[in-house]
Structures are given as C-alpha cells and as structure tokens.
Amino acid sequence: MIGVLALPPMLEGAVSPPAQPSGSPAVAAGFAALDPAPDHVLALVAATEDEPDEKKDEKKDADAQEGGEKGDEAGDDAREELSAALADRQADQQNENQQNDRNDDDQKDDQKDDRQENEQDGDADDEFPGRENAAPPALADFADIGAVNRLVSEPTPDGNASTGSFVSECGTPDPALRNSDNWIVAPGKPNGAQHMHDYLGSTATDSSTDAGDLLASETSCELENRSTFYWPVLRDTSQVGVDDNEDGGGLDGNVGEILEPAQVVMQFLGNPTGPVFPMPQLLRVITGDAKAVTNGADNVRAQWTCRGFEDRATTDYPLCPDGSRLLRVLDFPSCWDGENLDSQDHRSHVVFADEDTGACSQDSVAVPQLRMILAYDMPGGRNFALDTFPDQQHHPATDHGDFVNGMPDELMDAVVECLNEGLQC
C-alpha cells in the first residue's frame, strides 16, 4: 500500500492494485474507459478471429515464439506501403499542378486572371498556401476494419518496468473553443493550422496564447490539471458545416459538419524498461505529421481502428460495422532530453523510445507517455474525413495531436508514482 499512501489525498480511493506485470493491462485500461462494443460487434470480431487464415495463424505463432519479430516485419511492410502511397499522392498532386499551369497558359478566363492578380497582390492565397490543391480523400484512403491484418504489438516489459496507467478526467471538447490556430507551431498567426482543432483542458487555446497563460486559465480537467490537449476535428462530409465559407473550414477545403467525439480518454502510460520521471510544467509534446503527404512517412503516428477491434490498427480510415465506434489512437513520444521545454522543430527535445525495446537513449529521460483515445459515432459509408492542410487532401495518415503539460507538480508526482507502482489510477 506504499504507493497508495504516497499519493495526495485528492487521489485516494482512485487506485487499484497492479495486475500481472505486463504492459497490456495498462493499455487495456485506456480502452476500458470507453463504452463497451455492442454484442453483435463482438460476435463479428469473434467470427473474424475464427476464420481460417494461415497468415494470421502463422503471425500469432511467431509473435508468441519469437517475441513479436513477425509483428515487427508486418509493421515494416505497412510503413513501406504507406511511404509508397504518400509518394504516389504527392506525385499525382504535382502532375495536377503542372496540368493546371499548362491550362493557365492556354486559356485565361476571368477567374484565373483574378487569382493571378490576387497572388501578385499578396492576398490570402499567399497567406494561406495550398488552397488550390484542396481535394476530398481518395477511395483508397478507406479500409474495411475486418480486412486490416496489422496487429498492434508492444515491447515486452522487463522486471523494472513502470506498468501503471493514469487517466486524466477532462470531459469532452467544448465546441466554443474550436479554432484553426496552433499556438505551438504557428504562434501569433490566426488560421495558422488551416484546419480546425478540438481542445481539452486549458481554455487558453488561440493564436495569442503564451505558454504561461495555461497556468492561469480555467480548465475542463479535474485535479486542477491545466494542460492543453488538442487534435484536428473529423467531419461528416455528407452535411454542410457552419464554417463552409470560413478560414479553417470550407475556404481551406475542410467541408462538412464537425463530428463531436462521443468519448475521449487522455491516458498516461509508463515505460517497459524502467521507471518514469516527472515532466516539467509547460513541456510541449507533439505526435504525428500534419503534412505527411508532403514530408513522407517518417513521423506518421496515425492509428485508426474500431471499438471491438482494438488489437489491430491502420493508417487508413477504418470502415466500422454498425454500432462500432471509430477510434483514433494517438501515442506521444516520451523520451525527454532533460533540459528543453521545446525545440526548433518541436520534436527534437522529446522523441520516441526504441520501437523494439521501448527504452529511451542514455542521453534522455523517460517521462509519462500520453495516449489519446478519441471515439466517434460515424455516418455511414465513406462520408467522413479528417481536417487537414488543404494540400494534404484529408489523408488519414496526417492525423496528429499536441500537448502542453499544465499539471501542478503535486499531480505530476502522483502520476509518476501511479505508473511506477503499477497502479491503475
């Protein structure tokens, strides 16, 4: 009971004894915070698992006997396929741009003349680039979740692992706080993201925000947690959004009615090779790449799945069975350089652990790892898309998230204690 007694009074009674010494109970705790999948969905999952599939059987055997080596190979294959798909998308976009340039030379109608004049005048086309390349997602960006065979694997925890889990209770996003700013990457620039964000935690969210504003703001989170959590919205593209003619919305190619998440889980996890240490206040951490189509797959961290199918993930939009909520799972890096709250590229100061072992490098410190789980009730068919920069054309691999730590030191210490003691808090 030492770990329980060491927690501040506000967390007493909120912990449970550790389960088996494995990383999986901690991960499962995040999904357990969601509404369960309906019985008919679970029956579909069971039927899918029972289907004769030699590759699936071989994969499961290899994972058990070889410590996930086969799963690593499948992950490498998936990344290669994604890299090729992103390269094809960018090549198609470049070809289209070249064709448009040729068309401009051949026939200059009034609309094109106006656009060229506006560009020379330095208007919104310069201020918000890429709008001419906006396009809906491709059919190939969607995949039936039942056909997804990329199983999720985790590094095996060792005897020193921090196997606990802490869920920060923050409610659901307030639509009134939505905006298309990003004060981490584009400070001081309205519509710096060119796509809408949902926010949890601190109410200091727009382009004018300074990091210190978080610590004096109101918050939607319990326990005086003034962290900010944000991510791009999803839209029902069969509907018309209220921002159809606004920056961040239709003017940037983001069309449709914004879907409010049915549930959100902000979970912190430990490290499979040892204890974690407190992260400092105002540490900024990002995951994913909002410009993956342009930049390639190196920083892609998108994980899409469906409720009941949490053992598999895809970088495509998943088509879920009726009654199964769509899930977005965003894992954040957790190896801090021990000194900087931010870096020029917003990545170098906090990086991901080794994919195979989960260990941080010797020149970094393991801190609690944030996992965002976002659950949505979806429209039927392919009538949904992620908000993106216009030239990223709603590619699902561009999913990303941002976090700035605004926890009081006492709360961060409690989170660390919970994870290191293997508790579920």
Name beta bridge partners: 317: 142
146 DSSP assignment: G
Mean pLDDT of 260-266: 98
Name beta bridge partners: 287: 401
Give residue 96's pLDDT band: very low, low, confident or very high (50, 70, 90): low
Poorest-confidence range of 86-90, 137-141, 394-398? Answer: 86-90
Say if residues 349 and 343 touch (Cβ distance below 8 Å).
yes
What tens digit of pLDDT does each residue of 114-160 get?
Answer: 444 333 333 445 789 999 999 999 999 999 999 999 899 889 999 99
Is the pLDDT assigned to residue 391 strictly greater than 70? yes
Pairwise CA distance, residues 77 & 83, whole Å: 10
Domain spans in the chain, listed from the N-terminal domain onward: 19-420
Is the pLDDT assigned to residue 182 strictly greater than 50? yes
Give residue 63's pLDDT band: very low, low, confident or very high (50, 70, 90): very low
Is the pLDDT assigned to residue 102 strictly greater than 60? no
Using a CB cutoff of 8 Å and minimum separation of 24, what contacts does 243-248 make?
A: 243/196, 247/128, 247/180, 247/190, 247/191, 247/194, 248/179, 248/180, 248/191, 248/193, 248/194, 248/195, 248/196, 248/387
What tens digit of pLDDT does each residue of 185-234 get?
Answer: 999 999 999 999 999 999 999 999 999 999 999 999 999 999 999 999 99
Is the pLDDT assigned to residue 21 strictly greater than 60? no
pLDDT at 312 (0 to 100) = 95
Name beta bridge partners: 374: 264, 328
